[in-house]
Chains A and B, each alone.
Chain A
């Protein structure tokens, strides 16, 4: 099947075809008529000859008659007569019916019958006259007598004029026909040429108009494209398979990329100066994937490494800036083959910054909400107390950092013990750890999990430092950063508390707390100890019951009450983690399933506080402390055997000694009791320990009120 796709060229092809058709038609007509005209010339010639022959026939017939009468030989004249009459006859037949005859030059020629009715009429008339003459002529022979000759001559004479006139008419008529044909030929030629010319003019005007129009349209389209490219906010351009930028691109592209000339530039070169090595490499791979591999559009979009790319752009001298750009790539296909990539670049800096801001706000809000949920469940008084203590603790931590800020690395501090060479910084780590651990314990006891987590992270950082053989000042940087975060977190909580107390201030105006509640065991702080104990016990798979007798801790001066609270929390933790056995083990020992923690607190007249904490767990294992101290390098094997039990037990108040194997939020870091010891030292008090294996462990603490003075812990 052959089908010519003419499309918009249909008209022009038709016009040209018409033009050629006209030309051909004129040519063919010309040819036909010309051949007819040459034929006509022959006819005119022959018709003229007929006129001449009619005279010759009559003349030779008369000569033959005279010759016979004079008795002279007449052979030549007869022959001539015969020949003339034969030719005349032949030609007459050829004119009327078509056929052969002899031309003037003696050649045989073929003649078509004359179609013209007038000429045919003349020919018929001539034939009527001629037929008796030719019959008579044929009968004239060599031995003809005068009678015959005279008879023929008379016939000839009689017909002569008539025949001459007819042949004359024929000639005139044939000439007339030829002249008509020539006129027609001219007319045809003129018409044909006129038509062709008109056609040509039509073509000219029609197509010039058409061309002009399409030129205008093209120009218009071009202007539209240029307008789009000039005004669009996005960078638009085409990339060829060699990753060169096409000749046209949107004006915005220059300012987006910060490049003056882009046409023909190498896209990779442009990227190279603006993105990091890794992104560049990935972008290359990606473009390669787009150009050479058949991958679905959806996938292609999702792996685009330039979907959001941070670029360093030079916006004039001294004004470098980072922008976020988004490059989108579409494959331009022709006949299923990828020829180009259409690239759209948008500056999404504003959007990205907004998103970041929004996310930060959301994170903050979420974090604050979580914290808020926690703090609204806490007794305001306890919370207030805690926040004060925590802020103080953080101040202490920062104070410790500041006091140790003198850049001395590797210089050995005072030897506190011969077996323990301590540098200034490693003892700093221990001091920091105790502080952090204490606040974490309090936070956990109050149920402020996010804050406890943050302090736990601080502990993690400090634990890492503990592992390092030597410490530089810079090693403490993460600690300082974390401390700053904690300061801010506590400040946030304080602000929230202020706002909350403003809200619920009216509602909480209730009867003042009785000074001496006989039922102190139900006071909120006891309840908090219970909650805290249950929480830890649940994690360790045992159960405990707390009994409390004594004063309302909340009535103590603030520093003292917070210290008491911390100490009790640490004892609770210590008892549950190290002392109280599992329920099964307790049953086997004939103990009640739930471990009993008995707390007693009283205040002396001088303001000092007596604190007693007793659990009925497995008691302190001196052997285990000994083993741990050796394992941790605190004591040598010789020292461990040399020290008496009392001294060994004292080690539980030292940092880094813990008999619990795994590190978790509750124990195992070896801090807890050392925090107790630190508080006791700060308050100028003392601790006594009593224990019987598998029966009990009893701590008695005396705190003197004079030391409500705050200050960095002495180590």
Chain B
């Protein structure tokens, strides 16, 4: 995964926040995480990548952040289902935009939403993942890219 490719993912997330909430999500310094020690918040939208390159990209956020985004968008129903839906929608946006941006270099799956740590996310074992932390209204979220 090159720097430019990562920037595409980062751009998508930042654009999403700006578009939907009118407020930028601040990015922290990116770092590398071992597969067993990656940040996972309450809701995680996972996109699988296959083809020439394999792995996954996920966006993970705490319920509070998702709740605030919903409220910001005028949605009063902040049930767990809706929070999960939102996490899925963010990942969907990432997936859709990435598909366009990458010119179909690799195949990007429809995102699935994982709640908490109850379900495991399958990541490539051998490599370190890129962790891009984001902060929006004092809430932390992260974009994780792990592609072989």
Cα distance A404–B31 when bound, in Å? Answer: 9
B32–A473 CB distance below 8 A: no
A473–B3 CB distance below 8 A: no
Q: Would you call B103 an interface residue if the criterion is a C-beta within 8 Å of the partner chain's C-beta atoms? A: yes
For residue A484, which residue of chain B has the nearest CB? B32
Cα distance A406–B139 when bound, in Å? Answer: 11
Give the residues from 435 to 488 in chain A that come closer than 8 angstroms, CB to CB, to chain B.
472-474, 476-478, 480-481, 483-484, 487-488
Interface string of B1-21 (1 = CB under 8 A from A): 111001100100000000000
Cα distance A547–B140 when bound, in Å? Answer: 56
Q: Would you call A374 an interface residue if the criterion is a C-beta within 8 Å of the partner chain's C-beta atoms? A: no
A407–B103 CB distance below 8 A: no
Measured between beta carbons, the chain A residues less than 8 angstroms from B130 are: 480-481, 484
B3–A477 CB distance below 8 A: yes
Give the residues from 391 to 417 in chain A that come closer than 8 angstroms, CB to CB, to chain B.
398, 401-402, 404-409
Distance to closest chain A CB from B88 (angstroms): 19
Distance to closest chain B CB from A312 (angstroms): 7
Whether A473 contacts B29 in the complex (CB less than 8 A), given A405-B133, A481-B2, comes out as yes
Give the residues from 22 to 79 in chain B that come closer than 8 angstroms, CB to CB, to chain A.
26-33
Which of B26, B31, B32, B131 has the most chain A CB within a 10 Å cutoff?
B31
Q: Would you call A530 an interface residue if the criterion is a C-beta within 8 Å of the partner chain's C-beta atoms? A: no
Contact of A476 (CB < 8 Å), options: B1, B30, B105: B30
Measured between beta carbons, the chain B residues less than 8 angstroms from A473 are: 26-30, 132-133
Interface size of B in residues (CB-CB distance below 8 Å): 26
A405–B32 CB distance below 8 A: no
Cα distance A614–B1 when bound, in Å? Answer: 47
Q: Would you call A596 an interface residue if the criterion is a C-beta within 8 Å of the partner chain's C-beta atoms? A: no
Whether A481 contacts B3 in the complex (CB less than 8 A), given A401-B31, A405-B131, A487-B32, comes out as yes
Give the residues from 75 to 107 in chain B that come closer than 8 angstroms, CB to CB, to chain A.
103-105
For residue A356, which residue of chain B has the nearest CB? B52
Interface string of A485-516 (1 = CB under 8 A from B): 00110000000000000000000000000000
Cα distance A401–B131 when bound, in Å? Answer: 10
B128–A487 CB distance below 8 A: yes
Distance to closest chain B CB from A323 (angstroms): 10
Measured between beta carbons, the chain B residues less than 8 angstroms from A474 are: 7, 10, 27, 30
Give the residues from 580 to 614 in chain A that come closer than 8 angstroms, CB to CB, to chain B.
none
Cα distance A484–B127 when bound, in Å? Answer: 9
Distance to closest chain B CB from A311 (angstroms): 10
A480–B31 CB distance below 8 A: yes
Contact of B29 (CB < 8 Å), options: A312, A476, A481, A487: A476
Cα distance A607–B133 when bound, in Å? Answer: 43
Measured between beta carbons, the chain A residues less than 8 angstroms from B133 are: 405-407, 473
A478–B104 CB distance below 8 A: no
B26–A405 CB distance below 8 A: no
Interface string of A310-323 (1 = CB under 8 A from B): 10100000001110
Measured between beta carbons, the chain B residues less than 8 angstroms from A371 are: none
Q: Would you call A256 an interface residue if the criterion is a C-beta within 8 Å of the partner chain's C-beta atoms? A: no
Cα distance A488–B148 when bound, in Å? Answer: 12
Q: Would you call A626 an interface residue if the criterion is a C-beta within 8 Å of the partner chain's C-beta atoms? A: no
B6–A477 CB distance below 8 A: yes
Cα distance A409–B27 when bound, in Å? Answer: 9
Whether A406 contacts B3 in the complex (CB less than 8 A), given A401-B30, A474-B10, A480-B130, comes out as no
Measured between beta carbons, the chain B residues less than 8 angstroms from A476 are: 29-30
Q: Would you call A669 an interface residue if the criterion is a C-beta within 8 Å of the partner chain's C-beta atoms? A: no
For residue B10, which residue of chain A has the nearest CB? A474
Cα distance A703–B31 when bound, in Å? Answer: 31
B7–A477 CB distance below 8 A: yes
A321–B104 CB distance below 8 A: yes
Cα distance A425–B28 when bound, in Å? Answer: 10
A428–B29 CB distance below 8 A: yes
A407–B28 CB distance below 8 A: yes
Cα distance A39–B104 when bound, in Å? Answer: 103
Which of A310, A320, A407, A408 has the most chain B CB within a 10 Å cutoff?
A407
Measured between beta carbons, the chain B residues less than 8 angstroms from A406 are: 28, 133, 135, 140
Measured between beta carbons, the chain B residues less than 8 angstroms from A408 are: 26, 28
Cα distance A48–B7 when bound, in Å? Answer: 129
Cα distance A158–B67 when bound, in Å? Answer: 162
For residue A402, which residue of chain B has the nearest CB? B31
Distance to closest chain B CB from A488 (angstroms): 8
B30–A312 CB distance below 8 A: no
B29–A425 CB distance below 8 A: yes
Distance to closest chain A CB from B116 (angstroms): 22
B26–A407 CB distance below 8 A: yes
A481–B26 CB distance below 8 A: no
A398–B31 CB distance below 8 A: yes
Measured between beta carbons, the chain B residues less than 8 angstroms from A322 are: 103-105
Measured between beta carbons, the chain A residues less than 8 angstroms from B28 are: 404-408, 473
B26–A483 CB distance below 8 A: no
A480–B29 CB distance below 8 A: yes
A407–B27 CB distance below 8 A: yes
Distance to closest chain A CB from B120 (angstroms): 22
Q: Which 4 A-B pairs have the closest CB atoms?
A: A407-B28, A401-B31, A407-B135, A407-B26
Binding site for B on A (CB under 8 A): 310, 312, 320-322, 398, 401-402, 404-409, 425, 428, 472-474, 476-478, 480-481, 483-484, 487-488
Binding site for A on B (CB under 8 A): 1-3, 6-7, 10, 26-33, 103-105, 127-128, 130-135, 140
Can you report 28 residue pairs joining A to B where beta carbons are below 8 Å apart? Answer: A321-B104, A322-B105, A398-B32, A401-B29, A401-B30, A401-B31, A402-B31, A404-B29, A405-B29, A405-B31, A405-B133, A407-B27, A407-B133, A408-B26, A408-B28, A425-B29, A473-B27, A474-B7, A474-B30, A476-B30, A477-B7, A477-B132, A480-B32, A481-B3, A481-B6, A481-B130, A484-B130, A488-B127
Additional 4 contacts, C-beta under 8 A, given A407-B140, A473-B30, A476-B29: A322-B104, A472-B27, A476-B30, A477-B10
